[in-house]
Structure 1
Amino acid sequence: MENPKKSPITVGATEGKAFSVVGDTYRILVGGAETNGAFAAIDMLIPPGGGPGPHEHSQIEESFYVIDGEIEVKSEFGEYIATKGSFVNIPKGGVVHGFKNKTDKIAHLLCIVVPSGLETFFEEIGKPVGYDEFLPPPPMDPESVKKLLAIAEKHGQKVYPPNYLDKIDKPEHS
């Protein structure tokens, strides 16, 4: 008798497809193909100086858990320093955000996106690499930027200039 249930998905510590994306290494743990589009989980290694620039994706909710290291998260609502054990959620709706590793150590993040889709963007713009292999960020000449913007749009993303969030007013703390 055949079991109608789906078997669990297991991925070893260094298994899965890994891609160099903007100089970071993103390993797809599970994607929409395996979750029927429900979600994707991505293991992210962010080298010193790394991290994606300002972008938005209005139809995807994105969450990060900092496994190790530290990142500076910027959004149109301000800045947050996420250290080991921190959690960040970017809700659906198109919040412009980005993050940077401003330390001298690799930051390790677990990223969950609902629904899936972000992983296919990474697969399309990234270059296959080993789990802990880093490539330098690709050049951002006008032709490369035009290509990136078109691919981003195809995947429901919008990419902004690197200094876009620098002009955002920082919230006051009392």
Structure 2
Amino acid sequence: MSPDKQSVQVIVPDAGKAVSMMGDSYRIVISGAATQNEFAVIDMLVPPGGGPNPHAHKDIHESFYVMEGEVEFMTENGPVLAGAGTTVLIPKGGAVHNFKNKSDKLARLWCTVVPAGLDQFFEEVGTPGTFGTFLPPAPLTGEDISRLEHIAAKYGQEIYPPDYWEKKK
């Protein structure tokens, strides 16, 4: 095999590191380490009421494919309800966005980030665990928020408060 070629990889179901993030359960299916940081793929289980706070990352393309359930995406353009089969693209540039599962059923999203980096962020701030296990989000102290913002900045991400959209009105 030439030095330019990489081996084909087969990822079996449920392979990859699992982390709990703010009440959600994420599984890093393809890490940046496996792609020379060109991209990463994350399988996301979002329980009712779950989803990240508003955030932005100016140097990362992020796409979400809703595999099951539905989530409400919020961007500067307003809310969009995304059901199974819907793809949402957050292009490079730093658009503030987030999503919430406002239904009473579990939602599952397939997230791809180009380049990789958010996978490493999730590993650093999340709690290692078993995919599909949901840990309740702990209340964040001022020190916790400061630490989170510092780590987020390291990965090119900016975190906004949960009430960001209400304050924008």
CA RMSD of aligned residues (A): 1.1
For residue 15 of structure 1, report the CA deviation from its aligned partner.
Answer: 1.4
Partner of 1:45: 45
Partner of 1:172: none
Unaligned runs of 5+ in 1: 170-174
Structure 1's consecutive aligned runs of 4 or more residues displaced over 6 angstroms after TM superposition are none
- What TM-score does the superposition give when structure 2 sets the normalisation length? 0.95
Partners of 1:121 and 1:152 within 8 A in 2: yes
Query: Do residues 69 (structure 1) and 58 (structure 2) align?
Result: no
Equivalent residue of 2:71, what SS?
Answer: strand
Distance 2:108 2:65 in 1: 9
For residue 138 of structure 1, report the CA deviation from its aligned partner.
Answer: 2.4
For residue 6 of structure 1, report the CA deviation from its aligned partner.
Answer: 2.0
Which residues in structure 2 correspond to 1:91-102 (within 5 Å)? Answer: 91-102=91-102
- State the identity %: 52
**Number of equivalenced pairs:** 167
Residue identity in the other structure for 1:130: T
Distance 1:80 1:39 in 2: 25
Equivalent residue of 2:166, what SS?
Answer: helix
Distance 1:98 1:69 in 2: 16
Distance 2:155 2:161 in 1: 18
Distance 2:117 2:108 in 1: 21
Partners of 1:15 and 1:131 within 8 A in 2: no
Residue identity in the other structure for 2:157: Q
Partner of 2:118: 118
1:96-153 deviation line (CA, Å, top 9, x unaligned):
0000001111100000000111100000000111111111112211111111111111
Which residues in structure 2 correspond to 1:77-156 (within 5 Å)? Answer: 77-156=77-156
Equivalent residue of 2:63, what SS?
Answer: strand
